[in-house]
Amino acid sequence: MRVADLLTEHSLQLRLETPSGPKRLGQEIARCAPTEHLDPTPFLDANVLLLTSGIGMNFTEQSIWDGYVERLTRVPVAALAFAVGTAHTTLPKGLVTACTSHDLPLLEVPTTVPLLKIDQHVENMLQAEHIARLDLGWSLADECARLASQGAEVSTLLAAIYAALKSPIAVYDAFGSLIAQYPEAVTWRTGANYAEQLDVLTVPLPMGLSNPCQLAVRLYGLSSEYEALLAPVTSILALQLNRSVAVDASSHQDMLRFVNRCVGWSESTRSDVANAFHELGLSRRAETTLLVADISGDHAAAAWKLRVALHDRFHDVRIAELDNQLIALVQFPREAFAEAMDGLLAVHPELPLVLRGPTHTIDELRIALVHALDLVHHVKRPVLAPVLGLSAVVAAAAGRGARESAERFLAPSSSTTSSAPPSCSPRCARGCATTPSPRAPARNSSSTATR
């Protein structure tokens, strides 16, 4: 309901008495406020339509009219509807001058139209708009529920919400990190002060958590309108976010068992690892991609975003958190494999993350996991793991005593090879830092054998 809508309603017979432009006439009306106070501002909300007959305003000084209108514009009110015939036979010239000076739309109400009729008309229109928003909100929730039932991810739901609201939308986790957004080109503030953004409405998602995720929407109108539209669909978003965690939680113990058997070279046979992989419900015929991320300290804020990114890009996802590390096995990318890999590497530019894939056999996956668990302690940003790591080879090939001796023996060599050659790419540098060239260990081993 806008000021211009009142002028197009013929039954009200309102006449605009100020040269107000399209912007002022396009101002939305929150409600009506009938009052005869000389200073009603303490009782007014923003964007109300002020209705008055001017009773008690029997003054002619221009300064008084200017002060009256100036106080109204500070609220601000959407427009002033002044009824003639009761206290004033015509509009006071001082009021017209003051409204023109302060760019406040002044509407003349004829004697044949009571102010109550205007009040009722505005309330009826606002009520109809509110019901229409609720219907649209439930239709949007129904559409998102349909998409979610078909396996759509959070980013797809945000696109559907954006199509209805025509406003950029994003989801934050409890730490102020951006989990997902639509459109991707919009810039959002992150961190502890993300909620302080101007013209942004934040709505907590009903996830059953003490610190739930937040839905953020750029405001292009009244916040109450967006709240009515978003109320039903927030539940669908919350369920979808919880679903990804529930799916992850259902396989958490199986993932821990698989990881423990992979790293337990002395205790677990290949058959033990294969059985643990089978219990995950993943296909042994499909390629398996491995991801290990450090989510300790400040990096914990990226856990939600990483989970959502994994589910967005792969059909089968298994996740576990162990010792401040997020470990994931994924299969069947939803898009081209290269694009899925690039998307995961771009989740957080400063997150220690190791991505290895694809692996084709249980043995390859086992040795890749052991290497990734070690490599993640030596990186400071997302990297692609090399095909083979020396630490994993040592762990796989030796018994416990031999491994400990080899680790002490190779410690000086690891420190001297911590920096990659200048010609290496950033991704390759991570592999070189933990996988010395095959020549150096061969010479050291030979000299040791000679001695």
CATH number for the domain that contains residue 76: 3.40.1390.20
In a domain, 170, yes or no: yes
Same-domain pairing of 284 and 367: yes
Residue whose C-alpha is closest to residue 392's, from 360, 368, 427: 368
**Per-residue pLDDT tens over the stretch 381-403:** 999 988 776 666 665 565 444 45
Confidence of residue 304 (pLDDT cuts 50, 70, 90): confident
Check whether 429 has a pLDDT greater than 80: no
Check whether 270 has a pLDDT greater than 80: yes
Q: Domain range spanning residue 358?
A: 251-450
Same-domain pairing of 37 and 152: no
Among 59, 79, 113, the domain-final residue is 113
Same-domain pairing of 277 and 402: yes
Same-domain pairing of 421 and 299: yes
In a domain, 122, yes or no: no
Q: What is the per-residue pLDDT for 450?
A: 34
Is the pTM higher than 0.95? The answer reads no
Confidence of residue 56 (pLDDT cuts 50, 70, 90): confident
User: If DSSP codes are grouped into helix, strand and coil, which group holds residue 128?
Assistant: helix
Number of H helices and number of E strands within the chain? 16, 14
Same-domain pairing of 24 and 97: yes
Confidence of residue 153 (pLDDT cuts 50, 70, 90): confident
Dig out the tokens for 279 from the structure.
């219990």
Same-domain pairing of 99 and 169: no
Dig out the tokens for 379 from the structure.
């990186």
Same-domain pairing of 153 and 42: no
Q: What is the per-residue pLDDT for 108?
A: 94
Same-domain pairing of 102 and 144: no
Same-domain pairing of 237 and 386: no
In a domain, 397, yes or no: yes
Residue pair 165/229 in contact (Cβ under 8 Å)? The answer is: yes
| Least confident segment among 97-101, 251-255, 447-451 | 447-451
Same-domain pairing of 289 and 380: yes
Same-domain pairing of 283 and 197: no
C-alpha–C-alpha distance, residues 356 and 376, integer Å: 11
What is the domain-level CATH number for residue 205? 3.30.450.40
In a domain, 288, yes or no: yes
Among 211, 241, 271, the domain-final residue is 241
Structural domain total, the chain = 3
Average pLDDT, the chain: 82
C-alpha–C-alpha distance, residues 364 and 258, integer Å: 14
C-alpha–C-alpha distance, residues 404 and 382, integer Å: 29
| E strand or H helix at 170 | strand 169-172
Same-domain pairing of 349 and 231: no
Helix, strand, coil % over all residues of the chain, rounded to 5: 50, 15, 35
Check whether 289 has a pLDDT greater than 90: yes
